Structure 1
Amino acid sequence: MRELLSELRDWHTSGTPFALATVVAVRGSAPRAVGAAMAVRADGTVAGSVSGGCVESDVCEVAAEALTTGEPSLRTYGISDDDAFAVGLTCGGTIEVLVRPYVSEPDREGLRALVGLVTAGVPVAVATVVSPEASLGAGRVVLADRADGSLGDERLDAAVTDDARELLARGAMASHRYGAHGERRMRDVTVFVQTFAPAPRMLVFGAIDHAAATARIGSFLGYRVTVCDARPAFATRQRFPTADEVVCAWPHTYLESADVDARTVVCVLTHDPKFDVPLLAAALRTPASYIGVMGSRRTHADRIARLREAGVDEESLARLAAPVGLDLGARTPEETAVSIAAEIVRHRRGGTGRPLSELTGPIHHHTRQPDA
């Protein structure tokens, strides 16, 4: 839903009724992951996507019906044995889509508040009943210090709140089954938990042309991008207009006080030992998921030797992606940024980095890390 925030804010402001369709389950190969969303206005205007085109037309019809009845609906879409191009997923997977209308003022106000929290970067989870049908669409909004709304039972609310906070801490989404009163070993109620953690961070060190291109593609991928360099003439807003933050500081000093978690990616583009060695020693003490380092093989061999002298162990050194990027034959800063981004996506999603035309089996991999 994050990509729909602008449209949802505008539609709220204008008082336009709409329905929101959300992928709540995926089985097999599917073009979009759980949490993918599409909003449909009463006049047929569409924003977002739930399948990349396979089932959108039918979802629009379901949305129109929901806007008329005021009732939510859960639809399952999968490949058709008789006609693979009928309404369904020709890729062979199955998705479940929850369609909820936002017509009444209480519903619209609740979603408006959620949009405000997500926009402000407040970690929040939304738990929604997707079965049984009698409780379909019942929701609970969970934050670190409070929860609002009810799924119909206090003990169920408590169990779901605990699980939602655990998922929120990991930035993950999932469906859980419970008994009617929150029992863990029963399957009467299925609840989909969608989390909205702040955007993951991309830390780019070295304010060079390659950094400008990397910052642009990092923003495109949904990262909150920080560019850091110790040289005042290079670390300027004018050089990095798309970055969320430009910092003039010694890289290792900045990193030691930065907020780094398991979704953070670090791109070290300085290839200068006086910056790289203390910076990488600090980076390898963080839980960052990806640490890419620019430089020739000779430069990297010298860098590794210096890091060993600084006391960095072999297990930590193995975390470094160096030379940074996939082998695309990149030459320009923009091509190099694509190469770096491709390696980050491969690391995050678990791909091979090989041409799909050379492979067999599922195109879509199970996600290694939670979405941005």
Structure 2
Amino acid sequence: MGRPMTAHVEVMDLVAQMKAAEQAFVLATVVRTVSVTAAKAGAKAIIRPDGTIVAGWIGGGCARGAVLKAAREALADGEPRMVSVQPEDMLAELGVKAGDNRDGIRFASNMCPSKGTMDIFVEPVLPHPSLIIFGASPVAMSLAGQARQLGYHVTLAAPAGDLLVVPDADTLVDGYALGELHQARRFIVISTQGKGDEVALRAAVAIDAAYHAFVGSRRKMVALREKLIAAGLAPEALDRVKAPAGLDLGAITPEEIAMSILAEITIERRRGQRLSSQATSS
């Protein structure tokens, strides 16, 4: 009895480590088995985005293909799902075939001699979305604090001399060179407001992200764009930067401007999940 418990603890220890390291993975848990000897209810496995099982055990090849497919889909849309691996005759009795979805369950065929049934819960664990803020302006400071409350991993990059107070950020970078970033969905806001605009913009557009925005007028962004293109930066890199940043809420104070930016980011962040949930409900 000691062995399965030890294995379970090792998997959960690794889950905690990978969460802390902001790594994406899937936790697959066997919730029910019938006439299956390869794995029992409670068995767990950690699956990386590349499909490798790094810890744990959920049975042999009979379930592996279906679980890995579900894991890839779960990482793509952020939604958990249930996979039921059953012999073809039992699927026929239910009136379903391999690949069908019913009531949130994905059915797969068990082609192994055991002909057992195994239900596996596939749960994606994704890094916190990453908000990268360039600048130490009042808007940048307010944006960092509000974003942390909404569950973002906040990186604030600005020269140390520009900081009048210590920002509420997970990571603080002196200057605008960020180095290696963890693999999360990224949202980038340039809020330098006159201090290092060009350097910050150049660094920001070099980072792959779902959203780039500049806190400043459209006219100012046009002038900066022309200057940076003349300096050799690709126009298409700058074309994806929205200016001014945020929804048009009539915001005036730094706190209100930060809120309008986070509202705009929320629309982008939830876009795929809303479409997924609408497709599921329909």
Q: Secondary structure at the match of 2:169?
A: coil
Query: What per-residue deviation string (whole Å, max 9, x for no partner) do you get for residues 6-31 of structure 1?
Result: xxxxxxxxxxxxxxxxxxxxxxxxxx
Query: What per-residue deviation string (whole Å, max 9, x for no partner) do you get for residues 193-230 of structure 1?
Result: 21223323211111121111100111112111111112
CA distance in 2, matches of 1:119, 1:171: 21
Specify the alignment match of 2:196 in structure 1.
275
- In the TM superposition, residue 291 of structure 1 has moved relative to its aligned partner by 0.8
CA distance in 2, matches of 1:332, 1:134: 64
Unaligned runs of 5+ in 2: 88-96, 100-106, 110-117, 278-282
Specify the alignment match of 2:135 in structure 1.
206
Change (3 A) 1:134 1:278: farther
Q: Secondary structure at the match of 2:131?
A: strand
Q: Secondary structure at the match of 1:365?
A: helix
Give percent identity, aligned residues only: 27
Among 122, 125, 129, which residue is 2:26 paired with? 125
Among 164, 187, 191, which residue is 2:108 paired with? 187
Q: Secondary structure at the match of 2:161?
A: coil
Specify the alignment match of 2:161 in structure 1.
233
Among 23, 39, 45, which residue is 1:141 paired with? 45
Confirm or deny that 1:248 pairs with 2:174: yes
Change (3 A) 1:207 1:282: closer
CA distance in 2, matches of 1:259, 1:120: 11
Q: How does 1:3-152 map to 2 (within 5 A)?
A: 109=9, 113=13, 114-115=15-16, 117-119=18-20, 121-129=22-30, 138-144=42-48, 146-151=53-58
After TM superposition, the structure 1 stretch with the greater mean CA deviation from structure 2, 154-163 or 282-291, is 154-163
CA distance in 1, matches of 2:47, 2:150: 26
Contact 2:198 2:224 in 1 (8 A): yes
Change (3 A) 1:174 1:184: farther
Q: Report the count of equivalent residues.
A: 243
- In the TM superposition, residue 365 of structure 1 has moved relative to its aligned partner by 2.5
Higher relative contact order (CA 8 A, sep 6+): 2
Q: Secondary structure at the match of 1:291?
A: strand
Q: Write 1 or 2 for the structure with the bigger share of helix.
A: 2
Q: Secondary structure at the match of 1:187?
A: strand
Unaligned runs of 5+ in 1: 1-104, 352-363
CA distance in 1, matches of 2:169, 2:150: 12
Contact 1:128 1:138 in 2 (8 A): yes
Q: Secondary structure at the match of 1:216?
A: helix
CA distance in 1, matches of 2:29, 2:197: 47
Specify the alignment match of 1:365 in structure 2.
274
Contact 2:22 2:182 in 1 (8 A): no
Contact 2:71 2:124 in 1 (8 A): no
Q: Secondary structure at the match of 2:64?
A: helix
Change (3 A) 1:156 1:213: farther
- In the TM superposition, residue 281 of structure 1 has moved relative to its aligned partner by 3.1
Contact 2:30 2:44 in 1 (8 A): no
Specify the alignment match of 1:89 in structure 2.
none
Specify the alignment match of 1:259 in structure 2.
181
